[in-house]
Amino acid sequence: MSLLAPGLSLGVDVGGTKILALACDAEGASAASAQVPSPKGDVEDGGASLADAVCTAITSVAADLGVSAGDLPIGLGLPGMLSLDGVLAFAPNLRSASGSDLAALLAERLGPVVVTIANDADCAAVAEQRLGAGRGHDDLIMVTLGTGIGGGIIFGGQLLRGGNGFAGEIGHMVVDVDGPPCPCGAKGCWERYASGSAVGRMAREAAHAGRLSALVAARGGDAESVRGEDVTAAALSGDLEARVLMDEVGWWLARGIANLACVLDPTCVVIGGGLSEVTPLLIEPARAALPGLLEGGPRRQPILLVPAALGPNAGAIGAGLLARDAA
């Protein structure tokens, strides 16, 4: 660890729309941060535009601290499948960087730096397990709800990477082989039923089926134009039909968790991600449904189902913690 920035590491969370860089200590307390937009476009450029943007965020934080980037262990959380050697093998929401080696690209731009690369949901899982809602649980699953579903698995106190680094792609667990198509190429993936985009799809289907009458009326009778955001806002303000739809999404959340429990037997599942505002509306029905869906039902220990505690910084904090581990 550098004497120039004692006790700090720098975590970077790369999202589909923004990149957050955060220097923090072992307790997750932030010393400096910077945010830049994620590069746009689906054109593959070998990760060059992403590396440029990440460098901008990193150098901004380092400058705030009065150090250079090489003085800090750097952790980078990326939304996609990371192979064990740190190559971004598949990133449907970050196509421009597919196949790239971000650690090498950052070293080209920043000089000698130590970069630890991990999946973004894995980073959030580490942060929540050590410092957040999952403290005290050695067998934990982090479920991040956003456009899709991300996952991080802590198994026996260790982050589960898998044989190739691809463990925890829980959103693409198939729950209905005849279900709607998923960007990954399969049909009926869990994230088609229990994510932000799932709320939108199920809202349109419900509207076409004559449900969500107030929302359809607000859209001038056009069922197709009803959006997921309409449903979540209406549910938060007490609309009963919107609440019923959120209950259905919550049931699907529990369905997937019960499937994961068959394999991993977690004691705690932490729900985080960009849908945090409506997480309580999903957790309550999921808590109600889960015991009836779990093998063993009431004869087994209940699984704690809790909202994430660290908010939108969890990914960056976790990336920083993993960098600290590796330093």
Residue ranges in contact with Zn ion by CB under 5 A: 172, 182, 184, 186, 189
Residue 46 or 274 having the CB closest to Zn ion: 274
Residue 179 or 274 having the CB closest to Zn ion: 179
Residue 260 or 317 having the CB closest to Zn ion: 260
Query: Nearest distance from residue 185's CB to Zn ion, in Å?
Result: 7
Strand partners, 306: 270
Single-letter residue type at 3: L
Query: Nearest distance from residue 275's CB to Zn ion, in Å?
Result: 18
Query: Nearest distance from residue 316's CB to Zn ion, in Å?
Result: 26
Length of the chain: 327
Check: CB of residue 137 under 8 Å from CB of residue 154.
yes
Query: Nearest distance from residue 11's CB to Zn ion, in Å?
Result: 27
Residue 139 or 169 having the CB closest to Zn ion: 169
Query: Nearest distance from residue 89's CB to Zn ion, in Å?
Result: 15
Q: How far apart are CA 144 and CA 124, in angstroms?
A: 8
Residue 184 or 264 having the CB closest to Zn ion: 184
Residue 160 or 186 having the CB closest to Zn ion: 186
Question: Quick one: which of 76, 93, 89, 85 has its CA closest to 20?
Answer: 76
Query: Nearest distance from residue 167's CB to Zn ion, in Å?
Result: 16
Residue 74 or 149 having the CB closest to Zn ion: 149
Residue 186 or 244 having the CB closest to Zn ion: 186
Query: Nearest distance from residue 208's CB to Zn ion, in Å?
Result: 24
Residue 127 or 198 having the CB closest to Zn ion: 198
Q: How far apart are CA 106 and CA 125, in angstroms?
A: 24
Query: Nearest distance from residue 280's CB to Zn ion, in Å?
Result: 26
Q: How far apart are CA 126 and CA 134, in angstroms?
A: 9
Instruction: Please tell me the chain's helix, strand, coil percentages from 3-state DSSP, rounded to the nearest 5.
Output: 45, 20, 35
DSSP 41-106: -S---TTHHHHHHHHHHHHHHHHHHTS-GGGS-EEEEESSEE-TTSBEEE-TT-GGGTT-BHHHHH
- Greatest extent of the chain over all pairs of C-alpha atoms, in Å: 65
Question: Quick one: which of 122, 11, 2, 107 has its CA closest to 58?
Answer: 11
Query: Nearest distance from residue 144's CB to Zn ion, in Å?
Result: 15
Which tokens is 63 given?
Answer: 């400058």
Torsion of CA 248, 249, 252, 253, to 10 degrees: -140
Check: CB of residue 24 under 8 Å from CB of residue 65.
no
Half-sphere exposure of 267 (CA within 13 A, CB side): 11
